[in-house]
Amino acid sequence: MKIRKTKPEELKLVMKLYENARSFMAAHGNPLQWGTSHPGEDLILRDIEEGNSYVCEEHGAVTAVFYYREGSDPTYARIYDGQWLNELPYGVVHRITSDGTVKGTASFCLDWAFRQCGNLKIDTHRDNYIMQHLLEKNGFRQCGIIYTDDGSERLAYQKAEQ
């Protein structure tokens, strides 16, 4: 597997991955995190244009997509019912999904992101048990609760080099 930046011409393919993810999440008890339309095409296009959208390829086929950026995230400025592991510079992962065809793809993406910065933050919905398990399996610690721009609650996780 390899990670590379998403190309603008892959927008439709990436949007299909997100469409499938929304259906999967709804079928597994998490219909609210992304609803029926998040992330929208405009947001993903902006991610691509800003160089923050990445895909994972296996044998030339795109199997996953995610947002990665180094630098502070305003939604992580305040954390409730806990605290971050540290206040060092960090990277963030958002909007990660895979097509489910290659076992371990999401873990591979998270590991790649962690290797870029050594201090990684991510959040997920309380109903997204699959993602919570994935994060904990990959060494992330639940640190508390954050709120997104629209006021939605998310469980906040961090993984830091020791």
**Segment 73-94, tens digit of pLDDT:** 999 999 999 999 999 999 999 9
Q: Nearest-CA neighbor of 15 among 99, 91, 94, 127?
A: 99
Residue 32 has pLDDT above 90, yes or no: no
Average pLDDT, the chain: 95
Q: How confident is the model at residue 34 (pLDDT cuts 50, 70, 90)?
A: confident
- Alpha helices in the chain, H assignment, sequence order: 11-27, 41-49, 105-117, 129-137
Q: Nearest-CA neighbor of 125 among 64, 38, 52?
A: 38
Go through the chain and tell me how many residues it has.
162
Determine the average pLDDT of the residues in 145-160: 96
Q: How confident is the model at residue 146 (pLDDT cuts 50, 70, 90)?
A: very high
Domains of the chain, by residue range, sit at: 2-160
Min mean pLDDT across 6-20, 33-47, 51-65, 129-143 is at: 33-47
What does the alpha-carbon distance between residue 125 and residue 103 come to, in Å, rounded to a whole number?
Answer: 22
**HSE, side-chain direction, 13 A CA sphere, residue 17:** 24
CATH fold label, 2-160: Aminopeptidase (3.40.630)
From the DSSP assignment, how many helices (H) and strands (E) are in the chain? 4, 7
Min mean pLDDT across 21-35, 40-54, 114-128 is at: 21-35
Residue 35 has pLDDT above 80, yes or no: no
